[in-house]
Structure 1
Amino acid sequence: MSYIINLCQQRQDADLFRHFQGSRKVLFMRNPSRSEHIIVSLPTRPRLPAAAASPSLVVRTMPGRPTRALVSFGGLVFAAAIGRGGKTAFKREGDGATPRGDLKVLGGYRSGSLRAPVISATKLGRAGARDGWCDAPDHAAYNRYVRLPFGASHETLARPDALYDVVLVLDWNVRCRRRGAGSAIFLHLARPGYEPTEGCVALKRRDLMRILPHIRRGGCVRVV
């Protein structure tokens, strides 16, 4: 979407123009010597079909491919990766399987090093080098966010790869925990070739970015 900005004060004009010019969002400038008008492009929320008012995200395994899935959302269908152990109704820590059920969105994170804008209906915290998630079944912080360094088994939310550039935390064994019933079930970015996950659901970046503006906290990811 483009906006016309009418500028008044000369100093304010220059500062504002430099801001948009630096971000490469200036599309056109009228009377550049006076900086009277500039047209800038700002990100807008991508649209889903009209029927997708508050849809669930439904995950179904591809026939004959237990670690690959099709994700339906508001009339759209995306490819996805799921756990190396396929799907299960009896999730256990370390089995590499994606749990069946209705998984509510509890919140999310984005990489602190990610500079690109992320349009999301769910508030995303910034994950840095001291942010982690405990996956030690015997620890009191099992399946909880933790601050690093942390003595028990955990994973780091600030990964060297891009898988956790954007993460939605799903309510599997979070609000009502059982020891060893699985941890860190997220919706995140997929590896090249949709390599299997450790139990999470993973989408291509472009597909996840299209969905994010429409998934609010409390929204449902249904693994069937």
Structure 2
Amino acid sequence: MTETRSRPAGGRHQVLQVRARPGQRSLGTVQLGQLVFPCALGRGGITRRKREGDGATPAGRFEVLDVYFRADRGRRPKTGLPVAALHPDDGWCDEPDHPRYNRPVPLPFSASHEAMWRQDRLYDIIVVLDCNLHPAVRGRGSAIFFHIAREDWRPTLGCVAVSPQHMRQILAQLRPGAVMEIL
């Protein structure tokens, strides 16, 4: 997994709008133009005061950066965004005091981290969002991704998640400069 970098965005932005459903803070919708799909959100709902480990999905506008996928579980997603295959030694540092906080890391890794190669389907396709990346502010949240939802739509730990087929439909429309706006 390579270091994620922000890219300059030119012209009009594509906007993926994410909203919680009234009365169901961990369920919502993702909208891209006329496409509207259900999504899972963090167990803490959407927050403007994101903190590491709070289980909430951060409100804000985040550039959609890179796409990673499990090549052993499905074909490469069709998209205008940069795409790379995940590997078993890919991780993501979630230790606020570590210099690699909220960055990809190779495994094994001694500090607290998330394994990107999972046994469940959640990271079969994963999209990195520019959330607390440039610069990463200690304790303001890490590993906030757009990824695949659990079959039972249980809440995420702070990410936005959709079904595999909806993820592929959305990615097919996206190009560099797209943003996810979590309201």
Higher helix share: 1
Match for 1:140 among 94, 99, 105?
99
Contact 1:107-1:217 at 8 Å conserved across structures:
no
1:77, 1:71 → 2: CA distance?
A: 6
Q: Deviations over 1:35-76 (max 9, x none)?
A: xxxxxxxxxxxxxxxxxx953100011010000001111112
Larger Rg: 1
Which 5+ residue runs of structure 2 have no aligned equivalent?
1-11
Q: How many pairs align?
A: 172
Question: How do 1:72-221 residues align onto structure 2 when only pairs under 5 Å count?
Answer: 72-221=31-180
- What letter matches 1:99 in structure 2? P
RMSD of Structure 2 on Structure 1 (CA): 1.3
* Deviating more after overlay: 64-73 vs 209-218: 209-218
* Deviating more after overlay: 212-221 vs 90-99: 212-221
- What letter matches 1:57 in structure 2? L
TM-score by length of 2: 0.90
Share of identical aligned residues, percent? 45
2:173, 2:112 → 1: CA distance?
A: 34
2:22, 2:72 → 1: CA distance?
A: 38
2:76, 2:125 → 1: CA distance?
A: 11
Ranked by relative contact order (alpha carbons within 8 Å, sequence separation 6 or more), the top structure is 2
1:95, 1:85 → 2: CA distance?
A: 7
Q: Secondary structure, in 3 states, of the residue corresponding to 2:68?
A: strand
Note the C-alpha offset of 1:128.
1.1
Q: Structure 1 runs of 4+ off > 3 angstroms?
A: none
